[in-house]
């Protein structure tokens, strides 16, 4: 309700294509939330729709939800530990624990999804026309790998600290996209990067799951700037699970005590003065 001193008729409208509400209904994406969406639209479909402002096709939704599942939880990662330790410190603030975990989404964890999507999108935009054959895709990918190596940069999405022989999530994403007929240029280029990594780097590196998720999201039409948001959306479910487990079977205090009780003072290195 407007402030009594403000003339409601003089206020310019704030446009939105998302949600509005009145005394009698809530509308979301142009639909009645209670009657048309609740119980009829999955959370994954709604998340896609809220960002893309269009409903996904069934194949798109299957790929999108597979990406969310792939990114949800990877065990005791730094983001999970941050959430658990924050909950230990402030158990009255579950939002603080969730936020602590999400704030750790960066270049080593979760951010690879965005970094890979951006790298692929930039590379494709730099080229006139798409490669036609697998050989052309490989030649294009090899030139990118060699350019990045010469500049001392890594190719995002290549390599994994644990899955040296291949990330188990990667072929699933490729298979779903192929089965649904929605493999696009980002996934095609990412696959080519995997095929040429040994020629370009001198050792074969696997395509990691975070990277293939970025390629898939880019093929679904999402711009690079929003891709990390989907990784964080997926990880929110994982963090909630981690916090719930911390409530049932806590480990955070043990981690804290082990580090604290084994802390050993050392003199700082001499600065030569």
| Domains in the chain: boundaries | 17-55, 105-229
* pLDDT for residue 175: 98
| Residue 132: C-alpha distances to residues 50, 109, 129, 139, 189 (Å) | 34, 34, 9, 11, 11
Structure confidence at residue 270 (pLDDT): 82
Architecture of domain 105-229: Orthogonal Bundle (1.10)
DSSP β-bridge partners for residue 32? 27
Q: What digits encode the pLDDT tens for the residues 40-64?
A: 999 999 999 999 999 999 999 999 9
Low pLDDT (below 70) residues in the chain: 1-9, 161, 163-164, 271-273
pLDDT of amino acid 107:
74
Measuring CA to CA, which residue among 217, 235, 239 is closest to residue 226?
Answer: 217
Cα–Cα distances (Å) from 180 to 62, 77, 105, 183, 247, in that order, read 8, 32, 30, 8, 40
pLDDT of residue 164: 61
- pTM: predicted TM-score of the whole model, two decimal places: 0.90
């Amino acid at each position: 309700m407007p402030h009594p001193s403000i003339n409601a008729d003089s206020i310019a409208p704030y446009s939105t294509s998302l949600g509005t509400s009145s005394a009698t209904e809530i509308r979301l994406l142009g639909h009645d939330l209670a009657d048309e969406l609740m119980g009829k639209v999955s959370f994954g479909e709604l998340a896609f729709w809220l960002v893309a402002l269009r409903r996904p096709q069934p194949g798109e939704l299957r790929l999108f939800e597979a990406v969310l599942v792939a990114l949800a939880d990877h065990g005791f990662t730094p983001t999970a530990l941050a959430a658990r330790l924050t909950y230990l410190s402030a158990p009255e603030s579950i939002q603080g624990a969730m936020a602590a975990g999400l704030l750790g989404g960066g270049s080593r964890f979760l951010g690879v999804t965005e970094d890979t999507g951006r790298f692929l999108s930039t590379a494709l935009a730099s080229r006139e026309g798409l490669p036609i054959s697998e050989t052309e895709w490989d030649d294009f990918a090899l030139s990118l790998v060699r350019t990045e190596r010469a500049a001392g940069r890594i190719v995002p999405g290549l390599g994994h600290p644990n899955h040296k022989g291949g990330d188990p999530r990667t072929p699933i994403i490729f298979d779903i996209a192929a089965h649904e007929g929605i493999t696009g240029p980002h996934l095609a280029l990412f696959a080519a990067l995997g095929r040429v990594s040994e020629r370009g780097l001198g050792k074969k590196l696997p395509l990691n799951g975070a990277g293939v998720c970025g390629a898939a999201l880019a093929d679904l039409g999402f711009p690079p700037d929003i891709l990390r948001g989907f990784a964080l959306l997926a990880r929110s479910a994982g963090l909630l699970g981690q916090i719930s487990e911390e409530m049932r079977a806590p480990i955070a205090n043990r981690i804290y005590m082990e580090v604290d009780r084994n802390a050993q003072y050392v003199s700082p290195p001499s600065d030569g003065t």
